Amino acid sequence: MSEKEKIRLSGRIDSNNAPQLETDLLATLAGKNSTAIEFDAKDLEYISSAGLRVLLRIRKTYPDISIVNVSQEVYDIFDMTGFTEMMDVQRAYREVSIEGCEEIGRGANGRIYRIDQDNVVKVYKNPDALEDIKHEREVAKLALILGLPTAISYDVVKVGDSYGSVFELLNARSFSQILASEPEKMDWCVDEFVKLLRKVHDTEVPEGKLPDMKETAISWVQFLQDYLPNREWMKLMDLVQAVPKDNHMIHGDYHTKNVVLQGDEVLIIDMDTLAVGNPVFELASMFNAFIGFSEYDHVHVLHFMGFDYETSTEFWHRVLKAYLNTTCEAKVREVEDKARIIGYTRLIRRHIRRGGLETPEGKAEISFWKQKLISLIDNTDNLTFSLDEFETDASTERLADVQQFISEKLERADCPMKVCMQIEVAVEEIFVNIASYAYAPLSGKAKVRVELSDNPSSVSITFIDHGVPYNPLAKVDPDVHAEASDRPIGGLGIYMTKKMMDDVTYEYKDGENILTLKKNL
């Protein structure tokens, strides 16, 4: 086994003692299997060129050399002579106290405090956080390069026994602070919060630069194996596994303490959770921050965000609507339910890992989430969503939601009133058909997709269900000239639909009935 040999350097190293140092080092290292050496330069006051040469010589035998806790003076020597490019030389860390400092942010890995008017420090929970800090710095740089407004730390400091990274954040206020003290700015906050969220989600990340959130989510699901009924657990795993790969960025901890206003610029901070993946994973962590975490005990959100549960609920709801670009409540619920599945999964795991099952209140809280999770799993077929699609129960009770979702899209497309009414009639015919027959006597889901295209301007509405294969177009058109009493019941609706639309097509593919209505505008 090879391991890292730690050696302290102290005082002055110059031509008087450099030869002795070399002899001592060789004696220390002789007979050990160390392949790497870490020099602790905490007490090193000075190193002359004679000392530098000894380090270079040691490096010939032990290529993996690092020097830590280097004072600024000594670091300058290493830097000037090119040593910092040849070996890992780390400066000693300035000590910073956070006593009496305001906490302005909190994330999965640490807390952020304002240390003076211009600077904040993020203090990491993990006492051995240097790797984390390096990671965060790298991902923040990546985010900046990819065009996202963020702050990059310029110094690493010691805060008590932990490490912190220092950022310049001038007079910045978090959205939590703004919402807590100026509730009238809710509209503005929603707009800016969503604008930045979209920007994150529109950012493509080069392969391999960031972890895949789906893999993280799978590990959460794995944790729940012993805590969920097997059927639900397996379905949950299938649901997460089926989420398609996505190379767009997600922040991973996007809430109002991590979005700040600096001057007139909105910045996103706390970048250590940056990942790639489907936006549903982001919405899940947002749901937790605003709702899930405090759903059982509403006081949590006040402690965490600084505003009450009602404000939090309203903000979340409006953000989701704005993000999905819809006023259709049913559409918002569809997406929220998918996010909740991941959200509860994570919350339950988090609480169990923190000993939640050891106290009665903890147990109650976990069981509260578990019940919600189980019922959501039973009622969900997939975790993805699209702004152009609406997925709902194939039930006549949902017809109004479907109509609302479609009419909103048509209104935005300036669709003439007459055409809207024709489409409404056709949609009712098709959706009621699916609701009545596709899954009878059981129940299932139906998906409606609205696509608008220009040139020629037209709208397509596609209905998809997993029910029994059925082609309504295969029916012979009824004889509309026959006396009403002579006509068979049914079939007229499909006939009217075909008449009013410019094209109606049907196919059965991969277990799905796919019926598309097309209308020129």
Footprint on this chain of other proteins (rule: CB under 8 A):
14-17, 19-20, 22, 26, 48-50, 52-54, 56-58, 60-61, 77, 80-83, 85-86
* Least distance (Å) between residue 36 CB and other proteins: 17
CA distance 388 to 385: 9
First to last CA, the chain: 74
CA distance 298 to 307: 11
Distances (CA, A) of 418 to 313, 414, 425: 38, 12, 11
* Least distance (Å) between residue 42 CB and other proteins: 20
Considering the complex, state which of residue 22 and residue 512 has its C-beta at the smaller distance from other proteins: 22
Nearest to 232 by CA among 379, 60, 109, 97: 379
Amino acid at 422: Q
**Helix H or strand E segment including 290:** helix 279-290
* Least distance (Å) between residue 27 CB and other proteins: 12
* Least distance (Å) between residue 40 CB and other proteins: 20
* Least distance (Å) between residue 202 CB and other proteins: 42
CB count within 10 Å of CB 314 equals 17
CA distance 200 to 88: 33
* Least distance (Å) between residue 85 CB and other proteins: 7
CA distance 319 to 330: 15
CA distance 168 to 189: 23
Alpha-carbon torsion angle 487, 492, 498, 500, nearest 10: 110
| Token pair belonging to 146 | 């990819």
* Least distance (Å) between residue 19 CB and other proteins: 7
Nearest to 448 by CA among 459, 457, 458, 437: 459
CA distance 433 to 494: 10
Considering the complex, state which of residue 48 and residue 407 has its C-beta at the smaller distance from other proteins: 48
Amino acid at 424: E
Considering the complex, state which of residue 61 and residue 72 has its C-beta at the smaller distance from other proteins: 61
Considering the complex, state which of residue 78 and residue 254 has its C-beta at the smaller distance from other proteins: 78
Considering the complex, state which of residue 14 and residue 192 has its C-beta at the smaller distance from other proteins: 14
* Least distance (Å) between residue 10 CB and other proteins: 12
| Token pair belonging to 387 | 């702004």
Considering the complex, state which of residue 65 and residue 143 has its C-beta at the smaller distance from other proteins: 65
Considering the complex, state which of residue 26 and residue 421 has its C-beta at the smaller distance from other proteins: 26
Are the C-beta atoms of 34 and 28 separated by less than 8 Å? no
* Least distance (Å) between residue 130 CB and other proteins: 24
CA distance 186 to 188: 6
CA distance 42 to 67: 10
| Token pair belonging to 506 | 């049907």
Considering the complex, state which of residue 57 and residue 363 has its C-beta at the smaller distance from other proteins: 57
* Least distance (Å) between residue 45 CB and other proteins: 13
Amino acid at 131: E
Considering the complex, state which of residue 58 and residue 320 has its C-beta at the smaller distance from other proteins: 58
Distances (CA, A) of 97 to 163, 171, 172, 278, 474: 11, 20, 20, 39, 77
Considering the complex, state which of residue 85 and residue 128 has its C-beta at the smaller distance from other proteins: 85
